[in-house]
Each structure stands twice: as C-alpha cells, then as structure tokens.
Amino acid sequence: MKILSGKTGAPGIAIGPVMLREDHVRVFNTETAEPAQEIKRFDAALAVLPDRFSDLLSSAAPENRGILEARKMMLEDPSLLDAIRAGIRSGKTAEAASLSVTEEKAAALEKNENEYLRSRSADLRDIGRFLADHLSGRPDRSCPDVPSVIFADEITPEEISAADRNNVLAYVTRKGSPASHASIVAGNCGIPYLYGVDPDVAVLRSAALVAVDAAEGKLILDPDEGTLAELTRRKAEDTRVRIIRDVSETGIRVCANIGSPEDAKQALRYGADGVGLFRTEFLFMKKETPPDEEEQFEAYRSAAEYMQGKEVIIRTLDLGADKQASCLTLAPEENPALGHRAIRVCLDRPELFRTQLRAILRAAVYGNIKIMFPMIASIGEIDDAMEQVRLAAAGLNAEGIPCRIPPVGIMVETPAAAVLSEELARKADFFSIGTNDLAQYTLAADRTGKDMERYYRPGDEAVLRLIRMTAEGAKKAGIPVGICGEIGGDPAIIPLLAEMGISELSMSPARIPKAKQILADLSAVSADEPADEFEAFGAPADGRLIPMEQIPDPAFSSGVLGKCIGIEPESGNIYAPVSGTVTMVADTLHAIGIRSDGGHEILIHIGIDTVALKGKGFTCSLKAGARVEKNDLIMTADPDVIRAAGLNATVILVLLK
Ligand code: PEP
Ligand code: MG
C-alpha cells in the first residue's frame, strides 16, 4: 500500500482500477512506407465517423449532446483534415499524423493572447487523441470501458460534463484548483475529484487497485484490507442519502448548486431543500449557437419541475474569465476576470439578456423560480437589469404569452457589493454571496491561478468580515441572505456562517448530507439536548427522498404509525438504516422490522400494497433475531417488478411509536 497526498476538488470516495489517460491511446506504428494507402485508411475511418457520432448522440445525456456536436464539428474542419493528410504524405501513419498535427495546432494556440483561444488547445489535443483512438479501433478515451479512476495531467469542465458517469469513478489530476469550474462541475456531477497529485507514473500504472479519498485528500495505491473496509464503509455512508432531522430549527436551508436540469436529480438525491444556484452559462458552453428562448425555457422549466415546488434560483448568464462559450465570443482582454463578464456582458447585449429573461419569466409560471444577477458592483446595475426584466415581461404580456416576474435577487461577489449591501438590499428581494469570486476580488488572488492557494483563501478574515457586513445589510432591509460559493459547504466554516444569520447554504449536491448533519448537530447543541436518533439513520435505499406527507398511503402519510420517510428507489438494494436486531420479516418479504441498539423500533416497508405480490421480486435471507449493522445489505426488492404490477415502489422507513 502507498499513500499519495492531493487536494480536494470535489469530495467523495472511489475504489477501482486506474486508467492513465496518457496510456489510453493504442500503441501503433508511427511511420508508413505507403502514404497513399494510409490516406485511404484515414478517409475510410472518417467516413464512418458520422454513424459513430449519431450512435453517441442518441445515447448521450441531453446536457452532453452539445459537447459531442462541437467535437463532431471540429472533426469536420477541412483545414485540420488536410493538415493530417499532409502529415501522412510525409511518411507518418494516420494515428501519428493526427496526434502531431493537433499537438502543433494546440501548441500554437497556447501562445495566443486570447484566453479563450488558449483554453481551446486542450480541446484540440482531445480531438487528436480521439482520432488516434478511432483509427486504431479504440473507443473514446474519455469513456473508459470499465468503471475506472481516471488519472490525467488536468481535466476540463467540458470533459467532465461529457463523461459517462457510470464508468468514471473519480478524477485524479496533477493540476487543478479548488474553485475552478472543473472542481465545481465534478461536484455537481457527484464525481470525486482529487488534484495536486504527482505520482511516479510507473508505480501508478502497476497498481492493481486504487482508492481515492477525495475528502481527505488521499490517493491510496493497492489499499490493504483494513483501509479498503474502512473506505467502503465510509463510501456507503457518504454516497447514500442520509435521513436527518429537519434542520429547520436552525432556520437554514441547505440547497444545491447545479449546472443543468439533470443535475437537479442529484440535488434531490442528496436531500437538497432547493436549488440555490443554477449556473445557466453551462447551457451555453460547447454550443455552436446560443440556446434560443424555447430551449432555455425547457431547461428552466424542467429544473423547476424536477424540484417539485422547491425553490430554484436561476442565475442569469455569468460568462467571461474562466467560463467561455464558443457561441458567444468575448473580445480578448488583458484581465478578463476584471473585464466584461457576467451582468456586464448581459447589459451590453440586451437581446441576449432579454431572450434569457423571457425564458425564465415563462418558466416561472411552472415552478418556484427566482432570478439572480451575478457580479453586481453598483446600484445602477440592478436598476438597469430590472428594467430589462420589466421589458421582457411587457413583451410577453403584449404577445399573450403566460409569464410571471418572480422575486429577483443579486449575487454579492464583489467587495463593492458587500460594502454597499445596505443600499443594494433595498433594491433586491434576496442576496446570495458568491464567495468564490468574493475571495478572488477581496484578496486579489486568481481563483484558478497556479500555486495561488497561499493567497486564495475563501475563509480569510477579510472575506468573513465582508460576509458579516453583507448579512447585516440584508438584515436591516429584512431580506434573506444565502451563500452559494464553495465555502457554504465547508464543514469548518458552516457554524460561523450560521452564527452570522445566513439563511441558506447552497453547495455541490454531494456536500449536502454533511452540511445538514453539521446544522442538525448545531441545533441539537443549542437546544441543549441530545440529538434524536432518527437523524443519524442511514437511508434504507438509494433514491429520491419523499417527505412523510407525500407518501401516497394515508397509513404512512398521516403519521399514525409513527414518523415516516419515503424513498423512491433507484435500485433494488435495501440497507439497514441502523445497527440492531431483526424483529420480524414478513412472510411476503415486503416488510422487515429492526430494533436499533438505541432501543428504537423501526419498520421498513417496501412499496404500497405489495403484500399482493406474495414475495415476487423480493429476496431476503434474514430471520427474526439476526444481528445487522448499519448499511448492511439486508434484502433486495426489484422496483421494476413492483411497478410492472401497477404498484407504487416507495421504500418507507417508519420509526414506530
Ligand atoms: C461564486 O463566485 O462564489 C459563485 C458561486 O459563482 P461562480 O463560482 O459560478 O463564479
Ligand atoms: Mg462567481
């Protein structure tokens, strides 16, 4: 066993084989004696690419299709293909020419003054490897064939969004930074990400198994049995939904940051109380043309519908600096983080802004949506942005299209906004503090800069004072204030934020259970009483949490049997929510009772009216009197069999009276 240290990009634990991205190109000859034949082989491989892409596109998640389409476009670029053919004519094989031509072009791009063009060099290298993989009959390297931990020099947010989430267990990279959008997207997708690891590649390659403990900042090569058992236990606790007491006593809601409507599923899975930040710029990335009003409307409406009435804060476009979209080229700037970005771009391009606002106002009819403007640094900017909201509403009303102006808030992510918070609070319905940028601008430290961690410290006293000042400004005006920067999910800082009067913390979905646990502990401590055991229960199944009142059976939803929680299951695995003794297993296996070590009587009831199935679709080998440990797999109950019988498959956990 060997342990290497790294830094947390996105928390989580993963165990599996490692795939070195640089290895994932098949070994091939680099020289050819028959260039004409080789060009024919190259052209034949290109001819089947459209079919390969239509297969990829038809199976891709909607949020990943734009990226694939952009990749397809790049592969159709005649100047690129001609350069590769020229390389082949000079004696290189098609694979070697693809790699060398894309490398040359990427290296040239890296020297470009335009930050956006520089950032595209990684895409070009990607395309080169993709072509070499394709020519040598190897599948797309960003999609390993078996579930694997991917090791790479660095990783882009686009690559993470395009990844097959079933086969990417975790990312480990040499380069990275905690507030980069790669870290943020990995967190949104629930993929553990560890950066700053610089292993001996030969040693890494020879590891049969690796464990990534991204929360603790460790990459463990060939973990021993004890370590493996401990990590497996922690992973089960971390990745499964934890049912915890309603933390409303603290008055703080714990919400999710998302980048696509599909991310809302992760949000619900981890028990989010809402979406505190929908980063809409991710809908624009890797698209040839900006999404039109209809496409945006669908995206916002479906996020709101997924969240089933819970609040969804839609942030208007925050493009610029390290977030660029090729469909909206921004003029090159010396200091893009201090230049035309976010609300400035929107106010400069009213037609772009208006399209987005129209889509949001229309979607607001279908759910609990709020609007939020990023990067506000002056009072005039809110006035101007609000004017655009009113114009968008007036246009829709004149056209007879249903719409609603929802509450409108602002992000406090410039020191100017924090200092002016009292005045700004009179103009906004709510604040959300973007500590990722607030720290960057307060400490004059690039959030994505190499070796900037010494200077970029979101928990620095200077940043905390600005947060406190903002919270006080909001309080005076009587508006709520949340935090949607990464600090909101930092276990060490949450208690301080709670004490400052922050009413909402929004974070990567995977951080939610821990944050809720901390808040529940805080409220238990302040109430000077031990926490009720229910809050420490594990979930009996993976899936979406359903509050007691929404369980579709009055026997449970009325609470007459005791406090209940439902889970719409994603798989058929049923786990012990506590350690204890089995008290009964129904003959038809649809229910199991457990007495916890703390003396609670628990019932796990699978589905509604499932007694009628007479055990079909269920397996359980436990008998009354058996001992179970928390998170043990105690039975299986196939939700598809239950649903196919026309029954509801909700797994219900009842804390019997
Ligand atoms: C922030 O700056 O804290 C924030 C949440 O916005 P983003 O990370 O998208 O810039
Ligand atoms: Mg920001």
* Calpha distance 21→213 (Å, rounded): 20
Tokens found for residue 234? 């922690």
From the candidates 189, 255, 346, 484, which is the catalytic residue? 484
Question: Which DSSP letter does residue 242 get?
Answer: B
Candidate of 411, 412, 508 to mutate for ligand 1, largest count of ligand atoms within 8 Å of Cβ: 411
Provide the CB-side half-sphere exposure for 208 (13 A, CA): 4
Ion ligand 2 residues within 5 Å by Cβ: 413, 434, 437
Average pLDDT of the segment spanning 327-350? 89
* Calpha distance 341→320 (Å, rounded): 4
The band of 253, judged by pLDDT with boundaries at 50, 70 and 90, is very high
Residue matched to tokens 């050819």: 32
For position 474, what pLDDT does the model report? 96
Rounded to the nearest angstrom, the distance between the alpha carbon of 485 and the centre of ligand 2 is 7
Q: Which runs of consecutive H residues, i.e. helices, occur in 377-511?
A: 379-398, 415-419, 421-425, 435-443, 461-477, 494-499
CB 317 within 8 A of CB 356: yes
* Calpha distance 260→262 (Å, rounded): 5
Ligand 1, residues at Cβ distance < 6 Å: 277, 279, 318, 413, 434-437, 484-485
> Considering only CA atoms, which of 183, 193, 312, 303 is closest in space to residue 253?
312
Does 11 score more than 80 pLDDT?
Answer: yes
Rounded to the nearest angstrom, the distance between the alpha carbon of 144 and the centre of ligand 2 is 32
- Tens of pLDDT, residue by residue over 542-552, are 877 787 888 99
* Calpha distance 477→192 (Å, rounded): 40
Rounded to the nearest angstrom, the distance between the alpha carbon of 365 and the centre of ligand 2 is 27
From the candidates 24, 134, 181, 605, which is the catalytic residue? 181
* Calpha distance 75→64 (Å, rounded): 17
- Tens of pLDDT, residue by residue over 391-408, are 999 999 999 999 999 999
Ligand with the closest atom to the CA of 181? 1
- Tens of pLDDT, residue by residue over 567-609, are 888 889 999 988 899 999 999 999 999 998 888 899 999 999 9
* Calpha distance 576→647 (Å, rounded): 23
Residue 383, exposed/middle/buried by CB under 10 A (0-12, 13-18, 19+)?
exposed
For position 140, what pLDDT does the model report? 52
CB 214 within 8 A of CB 239: no
For position 246, what pLDDT does the model report? 45
The band of 245, judged by pLDDT with boundaries at 50, 70 and 90, is very low
Reduced to 3 states (helix: H, G, I; strand: E, B; else coil), residue 195 is: strand
Rounded to the nearest angstrom, the distance between the alpha carbon of 483 and the centre of ligand 1 is 10
The band of 322, judged by pLDDT with boundaries at 50, 70 and 90, is confident
Ligand with the closest atom to the CA of 458? 1
